[in-house]
């Protein structure tokens, strides 16, 4: 193994990043060293790259390697690692839990009080190698393409939102609305279809993303710039509304519309992050409906990962339409420009160059 590697690092405050040569990290106790096959760009990475207000207040140390959605091959293991061997192909659970707080001890490690994020609070994955905790390395099942493995983490967000806390039974044979068809919303369309939704509404203002939603199995595409999505959903469901609303946009108006298109007694999963407070009609659209409003963050560890593996390895969900662009890590500037254009879906980078397909 060479002593150094290339890594995309945030070296100073301000827009951009630098591809530099750094030492290959050594896995410590309970850690594994992963040779990165592919790492995909997340909205969080776009914030760090642009160095917006969120990044300025959230990132506490520079320089640092960022990036967190990753899959690759284990090359070395540290002391006290017994369940993973070199050669295993893994994807990373990016939420690093403390293991001892009240939420961790009651089976909710994904909302750990002391949570750290790979590539935000630790050295990240836009590099040729990355060190992760061994317990965060999920061995990728057979039948999952290596490129697809790099998006298992964000796909897991969609799986968690769709299944909710009750196993996703409320999607079966019911109308489902997905608001916001960025990558995770597109994944959610595929998951809802795989779980047996009767009719899947995809609500998205960008033409290219509505087209991708159709490729993922949406039955009805709604452009909120042209039509009122609440009126469309109510009309197409005979006035009943959607039994499940998966809100992925974080847009305050869209969140309000989500409560208005939700059926009485229905569930609304909120994963999109609004920039500020959101005004809702709690009396008529939540309380009197007995609506169930569920906040979603990350993936349940590791129930969601098992669900994700099953959906991908069996072919029940084909996420290939969502992976719209592939770049070599050396072409990171073009990769980030593409990811931030609003026209792309999932953009993945390869430290070893884009493999021939």
Among 281, 239, 236, 227, CA closest to 259: 281
Count Cβ neighbours within 10 Å for each residue of 196-210 and write b for 16 or more, e otherwise: ebebbbbbbbbeebb
Q: Is 44 a catalytic residue?
A: yes
Beta-bridge partners for 32: 77, 132
Phi-psi region of 13 (alpha: psi -120 to 50; beta: other; left: phi over 0): beta
Cis ω for the linkage preceding 216 (within 30 of 0): no
Decide: helix, strand or coil at residue 121.
coil
Query: Any catalytic annotation for residue 65?
Result: no
Catalytic residue among 4, 26, 37, 44: 44
Burial category of 335 from C-beta neighbours within 10 Å (exposed 0-12, middle 13-18, buried 19 and up) = buried
Catalytic residue among 4, 11, 26, 47: 47
In contact, 272 and 256? CB cutoff 8 Å: no
List the alpha helices (DSSP H) in the chain: 43-50, 53-58, 102-105, 146-149, 152-163, 183-194, 207-215, 229-236, 252-261, 282, 303-313, 332-339
Catalytic residues: 44, 47
């Amino acid at each position: 193994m060479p002593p150094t590697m290339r890594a995309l690092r945030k070296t100073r405050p301000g827009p951009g990043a630098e591809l530099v040569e750094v030492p290959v990290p050594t896995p410590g106790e309970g850690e594994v060293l992963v040779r990165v096959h592919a790492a995909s760009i997340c909205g969080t990475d776009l914030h760090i790259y642009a160095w917006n207000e969120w990044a300025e207040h959230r990132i506490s140390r520079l320089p640092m390697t960022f990036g967190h959605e990753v899959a690759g091959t284990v090359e070395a293991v540290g002391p006290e690692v017994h369940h993973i061997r070199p050669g295993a192909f893994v994807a990373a659970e990016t939420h690093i839990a403390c293991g001892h707080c009240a939420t961790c001890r009651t089976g909710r490690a994904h909302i750990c009080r002391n949570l750290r994020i790979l590539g935000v609070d630790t050295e990240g994955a836009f590099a040729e190698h990355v060190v992760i905790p061994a317990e965060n390395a999920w061995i990728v099942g057979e039948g999952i393409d290596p490129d697809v493995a790099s998006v298992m983490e964000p796909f897991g967000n969609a799986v968690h939102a769709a299944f909710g806390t009750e196993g996703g039974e409320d999607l079966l044979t019911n109308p489902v609305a997905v608001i916001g068809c960025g990558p995770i919303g597109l994944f959610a369309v595929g998951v809802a279809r795989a779980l047996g939704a009767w009719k899947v509404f995809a609500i998205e203002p960008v033409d290219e993303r509505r087209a991708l939603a159709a490729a993922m199995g949406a039955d009805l595409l709604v452009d909120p710039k042209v039509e009122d999505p609440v009126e469309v959903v109510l009309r197409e469901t005979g006035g009943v509304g959607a039994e499940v609303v998966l809100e992925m946009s974080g847009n305050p108006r869209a969140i309000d519309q989500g409560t208005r298109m939700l059926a009485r007694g229905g569930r609304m999963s909120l994963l999109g992050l609004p920039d500020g407070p959101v005004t809702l009609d709690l009396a008529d659209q939540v309380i009197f409906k007995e609506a169930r409003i569920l906040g979603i963050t990350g993936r349940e560890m590791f129930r969601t990962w098992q669900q994700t593996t099953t959906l991908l390895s069996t072919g029940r969900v084909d996420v290939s339409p969502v992976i719209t662009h592939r770049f070599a890590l050396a072409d990171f500037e073009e990769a980030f420009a593409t990811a931030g254009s609003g026209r792309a879906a999932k953009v993945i980078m390869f430290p070893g160059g884009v493999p021939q397909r």
